[in-house]
Amino acid sequence: MEATLNLEISKDTTINYESTIEDKIILTQLLDKLSKTQQKIIIGIFLKDYSVIQLGQKLGISRQSVNKTKNIALKKLRNELDGDTLWKMKY
């Protein structure tokens, strides 16, 4: 029996000890720009502390695929942040 992989962001998701509701809103809006697989990988690695190997096994893809998808997603997120004036004003 395969364990389920909960990679959703909820109101109870801890981003870090300094996170605010605004940070969670911005993160959620940014993640909406990604494909479902990219979202699962970014959430899994950075918010849920899954390893690349664990994610690959759970998603049925190679660790190389996980890394490639992660890098594409991070590039997309960087591009979104570069154009986001609200983010620039806050940080």
pLDDT (tens digit, 9 = 90+) per residue, 9-61? Answer: 555 555 554 567 777 788 888 899 999 999 999 999 988 899 999 999 999 99
CA-based R_g, the chain, Å? 14
pTM value > 0.75: no
